[in-house]
Amino acid sequence: MKSGQEYIESIKALGLKARIMGSEESNLTEHPLVTPSLRAMAATYECAEKEESKALFTAKSSLTGKTVNRFAHLHQSADDLVNKVKMQRYAGNCTGCCFQRCVGMDAANAVFSVTYECDAEHGTDYHQRFIEFWKNMQENDLVMDGAMTDPKGDRGKRPKDQVDPDLFLRVVERKQGGVVVRGAKLHQTGMVNSHEVLVMPTLTMRPGEEDWAICFAVPTNAPGIKHIYGRQASDTRKLEGCACDVGNSSFGGQEVMTVFDDVFVPHERIFLNGETDFSGMLVERFASYHRQSYGGCKVGVGDVLIGASALIATMHGVEKASHIKDKLVEMIHLNETLFACGAACSAMGKAWAAGNYGPDMLLANVCKLNVTRFPYELARLATDIAGGLLGTLPSELDLNDPISGPYIKKYLAVAPGVKVEDRFKVLRFIENLVAGAGSVAYLIESMHGAGPPTAQRIMIGRQGDLEGKMVKVKGLLGIQ
């Protein structure tokens, strides 16, 4: 397996380019807007090397029998699913941000199971193709970006009825040895930190929409792929050279719009090609895996937000106030409830026909629906505890300025023994998570990642077994 530095060198070797703030950038592994997210991804490799965490971050491959990074693992038991969310929580603790690797793991497990069942129904050979592809991913310890979300255009129209049919990624040409695809995928977490991208349909396709029912993998530097880097709140602070003002200067997240401008996909890298009857299954299974993930990754970031809130309260000398204690207890309660949901849907997981395990779909959706709410309450409570200075704190440049600095250190002093510089660091860290660049991964992702609340409500309605519940009541009451 790769070390963190070997991973970074392997990304550098891809020579990826991206449009960032109106300019084409080619040296992405050195770009200040990109490098914090690259370091967060590298942490998933480093944790697989450390004695205290490698048991959680590694697993035995069901394909090769070798030890692989758990982020490249096909889950073989309910214990694997539980260890997945434990690993994600640990990674969130280590980085304090989105470490970007979950979506590829979730996509791989969904595609592995769906291709098996599609082959059984249609006599295709997608499953064996995917096995060979994923063996290579495991052997070379590569990062996969999962890509599902299309631009969608007019949400009231189907893909084939759009004014521009490219608003849902589709096959535009079928030729010898493969297909040519065109379209775009939005909100791509960690795309330019990944070696490969696994593309899936964004919704259940219907007969007549075969060109949109396509699943495939290509390298992130494949000809015709174009990356456009996404903005984040306060992101240009990373360009200013003031580490404190960034809030989390070591690590960060990354979002990209990726355009597929007539990209050729070879036959052996296609895992669904027009089978509309299996597109919905793929969407739902990927969603269940990714909704399970949020019971780990968002909890890990929640842990450090709670820690920062407790630390700033101590710095302010109010840690013994009853209302502060109550708020911190509520934050812990909400965060552990999310983890309980993630652990429960994992422990209740079952094997698909292909042999790999998936979470309980009802509980996975309950988990994610709670994630659309609780992190916002944690952020509100953290903002309350931190105080108004969270929004009015001067710059690190002013703190270090010979004229303004002494005034800042005099008037922003707090409890004895607390350095004003340390108070700055903690406040900026909280600000990063509740209103800055980190809030993209912690709050906006909590709402929209793996689908917004309505998507979970739809699945809960489908999986909730109202008919079965009514039958139970009829049995209790003797109703025929």
pLDDT digits (tens, 9 = 90+) for 331-361: 999 999 999 999 999 999 999 999 999 999 9
- Could you report the per-residue pLDDT of 140-170, keeping only the tens digit for each? 999 999 999 999 999 999 999 999 999 999 9
**Residue 212 covered by a domain:** no
Among this protein's residues, is 118 annotated catalytic?
Answer: no
Among this protein's residues, is 31 annotated catalytic?
Answer: no
Query: Contact, 345 vs 450, CB < 8 A?
Result: no
- Could you report the per-residue pLDDT of 24-76, keeping only the tens digit for each? 999 999 999 999 999 999 999 999 999 999 999 999 999 999 999 999 999 99
**Residue 242 covered by a domain:** no
Q: 388: which DSSP letter? A: G
Among this protein's residues, is 242 annotated catalytic?
Answer: no
**Residue 372 covered by a domain:** yes
Q: Is the pTM of this model over 0.85?
A: yes
Q: How far apart are CA 186 and CA 449, in angstroms?
A: 11
Q: 437: which DSSP letter? A: T
**Residue 136 covered by a domain:** no
Residues of the chain with pLDDT under 50: none
Among this protein's residues, is 46 annotated catalytic?
Answer: no
What is the chain's percent helix, strand, coil content, to nearest 5? 55, 15, 30
State residue 216's pLDDT score.
99
Of 47, 94, 97, 102, catalytic: 102
**Residue 398 covered by a domain:** yes
State residue 360's pLDDT score.
98
Beta-sheet strands, E only, within 48-148: 58-60, 67-69, 144-147
State residue 366's pLDDT score.
98
Among this protein's residues, is 97 annotated catalytic?
Answer: no
Q: How far apart are CA 26 and CA 37, in angstroms?
A: 16
**Residue 384 covered by a domain:** yes
Q: Domain containing 401: what range?
A: 283-471
Q: How far apart are CA 142 and CA 218, in angstroms?
A: 13
Of 187, 195, 290, 316, catalytic: 290
**Residue 420 covered by a domain:** yes
Q: How far apart are CA 33 and CA 238, in angstroms?
A: 6
β-bridge pairing 144-147 and 178-189: unpaired
CATH of the domain at 437: 1.20.140.10
State residue 372's pLDDT score.
98
Of 189, 220, 372, 383, catalytic: 189
Of 94, 297, 345, 367, catalytic: 297
Please give the tally of structural domains in the chain.
1
**Residue 228 covered by a domain:** no
Among this protein's residues, is 267 annotated catalytic?
Answer: no
Of 47, 98, 118, 341, catalytic: 98
